[in-house]
Amino acid sequence: MAGSVNKVILIGNLGKDPEVKYFEEGRGFAKFPLATTESYRDKAGERVDQTEWHNITVWRPGLVDLVEKYLKKGNKVYIEGRLRTRSWEDDSNQTKYITEIVVDNMTFLGSPNDSKSESAKPENTNTSSAPVPKSAEEEDDLPF
């Protein structure tokens, strides 16, 4: 049996458009904030919404491309990943920390009409396997 488990599952909405960066060797990453909201009634019977913000990072090559192409602010996504905490020193030598979710698997939720983007999203974007183009109009540059 494993000594520990680091697993996160979230369903939420993007807080802003993903920021995608590529390195000289062609590898890239994407990052974006994800909001999850819990609703409950307080003692007075009033509905209370409590929103939690999560820092999401994507490193998987095919998934980075899909995030860049299809995800926009407000889109709903299902994410599986793991927690990672990093530290660094800022310009004033203060140690800063960030905890983020590194994505292993992502599924885009909602219909193409839910996006305010001008391009249509594919209907099934479960990325646990290699992405498959949905129409003959899309270029197929996959090696199989």
Please indicate, yes or no, whether the overall pTM of this predicted structure exceeds 0.85: no
3-state secondary structure of 67: helix
Output the CA–CA distances (angstroms, integers) from residue 49 to 41, 61, 77, 118, in the order listed: 9, 35, 19, 31
β partners of residue 44: none
Which run of H or of E encompasses 70? helix 61-70
**CATH label of the domain that carries residue 110:** 2.40.50.140
Token couple for 106: 């992502």
- Answer whether residue 63 is part of any domain: yes
Q: Which of 39-48, 78-87, 125-134 has the lowest mean pLDDT?
A: 125-134
Cα gap 115→73, rounded to integer Å:
8
Q: Could you tell me which residues are beta bridge partners of residue 106?
A: 79
Residue 111 has pLDDT above 90, yes or no: no
Residue 135 lies in a domain: no
- The total number of structural domains that make up the chain: 1
Average pLDDT of the chain is 82
In a domain, 55, yes or no: yes
Query: Does 51 map to a domain?
Result: yes
The domain in which residue 100 lies consists of 8-114
Question: Is the residue at 69 inside a domain?
Answer: yes
| Tokens found for residue 74 | 């407000």
pLDDT of residue 1: 64
CA-closest candidate to residue 10, choices 63, 64, 73, 83: 83
Sign (positive or negative) of CA dihedral 120, 122, 126, 129: negative
Chain centre distance of CA 76: 9
Say if residue 138's pLDDT is above 50: no
Q: List pLDDT tens digits, range 13-69.
A: 999 999 999 988 889 999 999 999 999 999 999 999 999 999 999 999 889 999 999
Q: How far is CA 92 from CA 36, 77, 87, 99, in A?
A: 33, 37, 14, 21
